[in-house]
Amino acid sequence: MAELSRLSFNQMTAGKATLAEVVDACVRHGVQWIGPWRYSVTDNPAAAAALIRNAGLKVSSLCRGGMFPAATKEERQRRIEDNLRAIDEAAAIGTDLLVLVNGPAPDRDIDGARRMVVDGIAAVVDHAAKSGVRLGIEPLHPMFAADRSVVVTMGEANEIASNFQPCQVGLVVDVYHIWWDPQVYAEIQRAGERIFAFHVSDWIVPTPDMLMGRGMMGDGVIELKRLREAVEQIGYRGPIEVEIFNEALWSLPADEIVRLTADRFEKFV
Amino acid sequence: MAELSRLSFNQMTAGKATLAEVVDACVRHGVQWIGPWRYSVTDNPAAAAALIRNAGLKVSSLCRGGMFPAATKEERQRRIEDNLRAIDEAAAIGTDLLVLVNGPAPDRDIDGARRMVVDGIAAVVDHAAKSGVRLGIEPLHPMFAADRSVVVTMGEANEIASNFQPCQVGLVVDVYHIWWDPQVYAEIQRAGERIFAFHVSDWIVPTPDMLMGRGMMGDGVIELKRLREAVEQIGYRGPIEVEIFNEALWSLPADEIVRLTADRFEKFV
């Protein structure tokens, strides 16, 4: 079993609560880590950092940078500048990890868009290094290939990461996105020290919604323990983040969501 | 451009029409191939065969066998027997190709279920060979990994097929299921002569529904021509089947669906 001390509560698991409400609920239920999203941080990173720090919580990662592919050079440059700001925000909030969700292609050329991801990371990686922030490429489930991320497998994320230093660019392994992959254990091995984060949730059957249908751990079919053991065997010892987009879950009070998350984490992860 | 003579109309593209209505519409619009489903064939394969043959149509494939993984030995045996019947029906309807959709795992052990697929194919391949029927493994999109098919990539389908003779067990390449895969062109190369069928449709954004949200060619983001050229470069010269599950499309008369399919096929495939 994973120890509760490793649980990180991703803010989006209580998507309708404020950051302050989520922080309070984490403290009440003994959760030591939190994963905030930029929309709660951008306006005043120092205040968000103080809120979290004063509650005694640590920040596992900031969601999210990325979204590099775009139709014009000007728009790609704007995305790069936004990622530079995201890196600053990650540093300000007190985490060494920015999660990259890499965006869809601007047209039908998916391989061209994948090259734009490499170019985008190359354009921001030095600033990230100077800021003490690592970049974590998160492969999304292939059902998001057309609208959220052209990076859809661990293999591809490893391939992209291999262009950069292992201490600087790695992978965010979210079981929801990669559990189906016949190559997943081989690619975890290959990623090795590049595994920067491990996210858990579950795949429920039938899936109520493509985006908002993630399940709480234990409610679905994902081999959570097998995947956790695989990333641990290769050396991952960091926080385990719970990130669940689910309309029914979001309708609960933040306190109840954090309580349930901690309970399921201890039972099923 | 692909010639209209290669278009095969999969019956499910007009999912609410009878087989006779689909056959009539194909004849009216110059479509020479049809891909029937077992539910229209099982009761009286000879009659279905006569209906199609008398209209001058050829049968590209029969959908579908497979569904091998199950919790008990008895249930797995029942699935094998059903596949033996499906092979007989394929032969009776006048096609040399049975499409295999391989089913979900009975529990969380997805790799175990994948081994059951190999065992299932092994149990029916001799009967298929004697019947002049080839078995086409169709990898489904990973979003169906939990409820329809544990085989979700071309790589895995190639791996499973490699246990058998290339003339007997191969792949059904449906663009909707595999377009997102960074390895798709490498795996098409690897499949070579094992490519037994090529199916087209499109991935529309946003996707209206996981199961019923496929688009008509030209309405989405899939690089149809690039994929068609890839399977042709490796030697595939057979029919190109259009298989679209879409509620809005199904609400049209069969005649209009076939007309639209032929039109889009000539413009976008």
Kindly report, residue by residue over B160-213, the tens digit of the pLDDT. 999 999 999 999 999 999 999 999 999 999 999 999 999 999 999 999 888 888
**What is the crossing angle of helices B154-161 and B110-131, to 10°?**
50
Cβ within 8 Å, pair B156-A110: no
Cβ atoms B143, A207 nearer than 8 A: yes
Inspect the interface and report whether the beta carbons of B223 and A183 lie closer than 8 Å: no
| B153 in contact with A, Cβ within 8 Å | yes
- Kindly determine whether residue A182 and residue B155, on different chains, have CB atoms separated by under 8 Å: yes
CB–CB contact B152 A222 (8 Å):
no
Chain A contact for B106, CB < 8 A?
Answer: no
Chain A touched by B1 (CB under 8 Å): no
Question: Chain B residue with minimal CA distance to A206?
Answer: B147
Residue B257 three-state SS: helix
Task: Tally the domains of chain B.
Answer: 1
Query: Nearest CA of chain A to the CA of B246: how many Å?
Result: 17
Q: Which residues of B touch A220 (CB under 8 A)?
A: 146
What mean pLDDT comes out for the span B216-231?
98
Tell whether A186 lies on the interface with B, counting CB pairs under 8 A.
no
Provide the token pair at B258: 């076939």
Q: What is the CATH number of the domain that holds B188?
A: 3.20.20.150
- Closest residue, chain B, to A178 (C-alpha): B142
Q: Which two tokens stand for residue A122?
A: 């190359």
- CB of B147 less than 8 A from some CB of A: yes
Summarised one tens digit per residue, pLDDT across range B224-237 is 999 999 999 999 99
d(CA A6, CA A252): 24
- What integer pLDDT is reported at residue B148 of this predicted model? 97
pLDDT of B2 above 90: no
Angle at which helices A184-191 and A154-161 pack, to 10 degrees? 20
Chain B residues 192-221 with CB within 8 Å of chain A? 203, 205-207, 210, 220-221
Helix axis angle for B45-54 and B73-93, nearest 10°, is 30
The answer to whether A195 and A239 have CB atoms below 8 angstroms apart is no
Nearest CB among B159, B182, B223 relative to A156 is that of: B182
B contacts of A182 (beta carbons < 8 Å)? 111, 114, 152-153, 155-156, 159
E strands within A37-163? 58-59, 62-66, 97-101, 134-137
* CB pair distance less than 8 Å for A182 and B156: yes
Beta-carbon contacts below 8 Å between A and B: 89
Tell me how close the Cα of B182 comes to any Cα of chain A, in angstroms: 7
Q: Which residues of A touch B104 (CB under 8 A)?
A: 205
Q: What is the dihedral of CA A230, A234, A237, A242, to 10 degrees?
A: -40
Q: How far apart are the first and last CA of chain B?
A: 6
Of A146, A179, A207, the CB nearest to B205: A146
Q: Is B109 on the interface with A (CB under 8 A)?
A: yes
Query: Residue B222: CB partners within 8 Å, gap ≥ 6?
Result: A108, B175, B176, B179, B201, B202, B203
Q: Is the pLDDT of residue B1 over 90?
A: no
Instruction: Report the residue from A105, A145, A147 with minimal CB separation from B206.
Output: A147
- Ranges in chain A, pLDDT < 50: none
Q: Domain residues for A170?
A: 4-268
B74 vs chain A: nearest CA distance in angstroms? 23
Length of chain A, please?
Answer: 269
Residue of B nearest to A185 (CA): B111
Output the CA–CA distances (angstroms, integers) from residue A135 to A12, A20, A90, A177, B59, in the order listed: 20, 26, 10, 18, 52
> What 3-state class would DSSP assign to A199?
strand
Q: Is A34 on the interface with B (CB under 8 A)?
A: no
- Cα–Cα–Cα angle for B120, B174, B166, rounded to 5 degrees: 50
CA distance A178 to A143: 11
- Which stretches does DSSP call E strand in chain B? 7-10, 33-35, 58-59, 62-66, 97-101, 134-137, 169-174, 195-200, 202-203, 214-215, 240-242
What was the pLDDT predicted at A211? 87
Task: For the sheet with B195-200, list strands across it.
Answer: B58-59, B33-35, B7-10, B240-242, B195-200, B169-174, B134-137, B97-101, B62-66
Amino acid at site B81: E
Of chain B, the percentage scoring pLDDT greater than 90 comes to 97
What is the pLDDT, as a whole number, of residue B186?
98
